[in-house]
A and B are shown apart, each in its own frame.
Chain A
Amino acid sequence: MPYLLSAPATAVLTLFLAVPLVMVLLLSFNTFTMATGIQPGYSLVNYIEVLGDEYFHTIFGRTFLLAACVTAVSALIGAPEAYIVHRMRAPWRSLFLLVILGPLLVSVVVRTLGWAVLLGRNGMVNVVLKSLGIVESPVEFMFTFTGMTVALVHVLVPFLVLSVWTSLRRLDPAVEAAAISLGASQITVLRRIVLPQAMPGILSGCLIVFTLAASAFATPAIVGGRRLKVASMAAYDEFLNSLNWPLGAAIVVVLLVAMVAIVMVSNRVVERRFRQVFEG
Chain B
Amino acid sequence: MTRNGPLALAFHAVFIAFILAPLIVVCLVAFTPESYLSVPTTRWSLRWFEAIWGSDFIPAFWTSVMVACLAASIALLISVPAAMATARYQFPGREALVAYFLSPLMVPHVVLGVALLRFMAEVGLTANLFGLVMGHVIIVLPFALRLVLAALTGMSRHCEWAAWSLGAPLHVVFRRITLPMILPGLAGGWLLAFIQSFDELTMTVFIASPGTTTLPVRMFLYITDNIDPMVASVSTALIVLAIVMMAVMERVYGLERLLSGKGAS
Question: Does residue A269 face the partner (Cβ distance < 8 Å to B)?
Answer: no
- Do A97 and B22 touch across chains, with their CB atoms under 8 A apart? no
> Is the pair B18, A113 in contact by a Cβ cutoff of 8 Å?
no
B118 touches A245 (CB 8 A): yes
> Which single residue of chain A is at the shortest CB-CB distance from B117?
A239
| B43 → A minimal CB distance (Å) | 18
Q: Are A10 and B262 in contact (CB under 8 A)?
A: no
State the CA gap A77–B79 with chains docked (Å).
37
Residues in chain A near residue B215, CB distance under 8 A: 107
CA distance A157 to B15 in the complex (A): 10
Contact A23 B118 (CB under 8 A): yes
**A6 touching B86 by the CB < 8 A rule?**
yes
Q: Which of B81, B107, B110 contacts A8 (CB 8 A)?
A: B81
Q: Mark A248-276, 1 if CB is under 8 A from B, else 0.
A: 11001001100100000000000000000
Cβ of A19 within 8 Å of any chain B Cβ, yes or no, is: yes
CB-based contact A5/B85 at 8 Å: yes
A16-B135, A17-B138, A84-B4 are known contacts. Are A114 and B23 too (CB-CB below 8 A)?
Answer: yes
Q: Does B220 contact A (CB under 8 A)?
A: yes
User: Does A159 reach chain B (CB closer than 8 Å)?
Assistant: yes
User: CB distance B250 to A98 under 8 Å?
Assistant: yes
Does B104 make an interface contact (CB < 8 A)?
A: yes
How many chain A residues touch B (Cβ–Cβ < 8 Å)? Answer: 95
Distance in angstroms between the alpha carbons of A219 and B22 in the assembled complex: 13
Q: Name the A residues within 8 Å of B4 (CB-CB).
A: 84, 87-88
Chain A 1-59 residues near chain B, CB threshold 8 A: 1-6, 8-10, 12-13, 15-17, 19-21, 23-24, 27
Q: CA A248 – CA B245 in complex, angstroms?
A: 37
Tell me whether B179 is interfacial, beta carbon within 8 Å. Answer: no
Whether A105 and B246, one on each chain, are in contact in the complex, defined by CB atoms closer than 8 angstroms, is: yes
B6 to chain A, nearest CB (A): 12
Contact status A236-B205, CB under 8 Å: yes
Kindly identify which residue among A101, A155, A211, A218 contacts B220, using a CB–CB cutoff of 8 Å: A218
Say whether A235 faces chain B, with CB atoms less than 8 Å apart: yes
In the bound complex, what is the Cα–Cα distance between A3 and B100 (angstroms)? Answer: 13
Stretch of B157-165, B180-188, B231-239 lying at the A interface: B231-239
Q: A177 to B1, alpha carbons, bound, how many Å?
A: 7
B72 contacts the other chain (CB 8 A) = no
Q: Which residues of A contact B77 (CB under 8 A)?
A: 8
Q: A162 to chain B: closest CB distance in Å?
A: 6
Separation of A99 and B250 alpha carbons in the complex (Å): 12
Quick check: is A80 within 8 A (CB to CB) of the other chain?
yes
Q: A6-B81, A9-B101, A24-B111 are in contact. Are A19 and B119 (CB under 8 A)?
A: yes
Given that A87-B1, A236-B206, A245-B118 are known contacts, is A156 also in contact with B85, CB under 8 Å in the complex? no
A113 touches B227 (CB 8 A): yes
B168 interface residue per 8 A CB criterion: no
- A88 → chain B closest CB, angstroms: 7
| Contact B145 A9, beta carbon cutoff 8 Å | yes
A106 in the interface (beta carbon within 8 A): yes
Partner of A105 from the list B38, B86, B245 (CB cut-off 8 Å) is: B245
- Chain A residues with CB under 8 Å of B263's CB are 159, 208, 212
In angstroms, Cα B205 to Cα A22, docked, is: 21
Q: Mark A128-169, 1 if CB is under 8 A from B, else 0.
A: 000000000000000000000001001111110010011000
**B108 in contact with A211 (CB, 8 Å):** yes
Q: Which of A9, A20, A106, A214 contacts B141 (CB 8 A)?
A: A9
- Please state if B118 and A103 are interface contacts (CB–CB under 8 Å): no
Q: Which residues of A contact B8 (CB under 8 A)?
A: 80, 84, 87
Q: Which of B1-31 contact A (CB under 8 A)?
A: 1-4, 8-9, 11-12, 15-16, 18-26, 29
How far is A231 from B108 in the complex, measured between Cα atoms in Å?
12
Query: How far is A109 from B265 in the complex, measured between Cα atoms in Å?
Result: 10
Assess the A117–B239 pair: CB atoms within 8 A: no
A12 touches B259 (CB 8 A): no
Q: Which of B1, B115, B199, B202 has the most CB of A within 10 A?
A: B115
A126 proximal to B (CB < 8 A): no
Among all A-B residue pairs, the 8 with the closest Cβ atoms = A114-B22, A215-B108, A20-B115, A20-B119, A2-B85, A5-B85, A2-B89, A9-B82
29 contacts between A and B (CB under 8 A): A4-B85, A5-B81, A6-B101, A8-B82, A9-B101, A12-B138, A13-B101, A13-B138, A16-B137, A21-B115, A81-B15, A84-B4, A87-B8, A100-B19, A102-B255, A107-B235, A108-B201, A113-B232, A114-B22, A116-B227, A118-B22, A120-B227, A176-B2, A211-B108, A214-B108, A218-B216, A236-B205, A245-B118, A252-B108
Chain B positions near chain A (C-beta within 8 angstroms): 1-4, 8-9, 11-12, 15-16, 18-26, 29, 37-39, 74, 77-79, 81-82, 84-86, 88-89, 91, 94, 97, 100-101, 103-104, 107-112, 114-119, 122, 134-135, 137-138, 141, 145, 195, 198-199, 201-202, 205-206, 215-216, 219-220, 223-224, 227, 231-232, 235, 238-239, 242-243, 245-246, 250, 255-256, 259-260, 262-265
